[in-house]
Amino acid sequence: SQRPGYAARKWIGSCSHWIAKINPLGTLAAVSYVLLGDEIFAATGDRAWLESKLASLELAAKYLLSRQSENGLIAGAGFYTEMPPRHQWDGVAQCYVVHALRKCAGLNAALGRAAAAAHWQAQAETLAARFREVFWRGDHFAEYVHPERGVIDLHGLSDVNWAAVAYDVATPAQADALWP
């Protein structure tokens, strides 16, 4: 008798990191939840299952958007930690959130929900454009944006570059610049 999505909200809200101020794994649960839902639907094609789970999957996507800062980027990091952790707007997280939002759009489209699909796609493309604007350094993407130090770009080609290529966040020209 619980409301739809209650378990997902409880699960997503329980995932935090011991560095609470930074919470470098802040996007992990919600992104993983959406991607898992997409994988289940891709494997089964079960529209009834998707119909019953879509509200919960959209709550996870809404949570991701709730982490959007005034600068247009999603606060938090992705799927790993460094010491010290990337503090505040991680490039890998931006790419994974774009990917998750696009998957949410695709799940809605699979059920014929064109308006919802367009909404999630627009959110994904807005974030992708902001990511490219902030992170692109002319021949590669920066690692993250620190709230006090600004853009952090110490490693040249890092995981951010390959996440941008893997999830089609990089433009074709940017991907071509990265491959050599």
17-21, 29-33, 104-108, 116-120: which range is least confident on average? 17-21
- What is the per-residue pLDDT across 43-75, written as a single tens digit (0 to 9) for each? 999 999 999 999 999 999 999 999 999 999 999
Burial of 109 (0-12, 13-18, 19+ CB in 10 A): middle
Helix or strand or coil: residue 120?
Answer: helix
Mean pLDDT for the stretch of residues 126-142: 97
20-24, 38-42, 110-114: which range is least confident on average? 20-24
Tokens linked to 167: 């999830």
Measured between alpha carbons, how far is residue 64 from residues 11, 99, 163, 175 in Å?
A: 14, 12, 18, 26
pLDDT bin (cut points 50, 70, 90) of residue 24 is low
As a whole number of angstroms, the distance between CA 110 and CA 103 comes to 10
pTM of this prediction?
0.87
